[in-house]
């Protein structure tokens, strides 16, 4: 199922490289330094990697269900200016509602 997902249009498989790792570190550092502003929550390494990848590959939007919890920032609350400088819309996926025809 996962392999089939990766074959869908708009999905691009990307390997983590040095540029992504460096930006992910910068993002984690930014949210660490400003943790008071974010309720002392942290950005997880996987979330930082996802954000860095989306930023570097110039994604129009990042779709996720990852909201904040007691320990971690999550991704949706960071929508807008990620890391204080990178414009990125982060939102839940929008699903088109089909019609039900019972005729």
Q: Are 48 and 56 in contact (CB under 8 A)?
A: no
Is a pLDDT exceeding 80 seen at residue 95? no
- Band of residue 94 on the pLDDT scale cut at 50, 70, 90: confident
DSSP assignments along the chain, one per residue: -HHHHHTSTT-------HHHHHHHHHHHHHHHHTGGGGTT-B--HHHHHHHHHHHHTT-SEEE------SSB--SGGG-EEETTTEEEEEEPPP-PPPP----
State pLDDT tens for residues 37-69. Answer: 878 888 999 999 999 999 999 998 998 988 877
Backbone angles phi, psi at 14, to 5 degrees: -130, 130
Which residue has better confidence, 89 or 39? 89
Is a pLDDT exceeding 90 seen at residue 99? no
Is a pLDDT exceeding 70 seen at residue 98? no
Is a pLDDT exceeding 90 seen at residue 24? yes
State pLDDT tens for residues 28-37. Answer: 999 988 878 8
Specify the pTM: 0.79
């Amino acid at each position: 199922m996962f392999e089939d997902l990766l074959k869908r249009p708009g999905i691009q498989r990307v390997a983590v490289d040095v540029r992504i790792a460096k930006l992910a570190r910068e993002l984690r550092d930014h949210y660490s330094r400003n943790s008071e502003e974010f309720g002392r929550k942290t950005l997880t390494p996987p979330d930082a990697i996802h954000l860095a990848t989306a930023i570097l590959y110039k994604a129009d939007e990042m779709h996720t269900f990852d909201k904040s919890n007691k320990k971690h920032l999550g991704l949706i609350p960071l929508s807008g200016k990620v890391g204080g400088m990178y414009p990125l819309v982060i939102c839940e996926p929008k699903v088109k509602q089909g019609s039900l025809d019972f005729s």
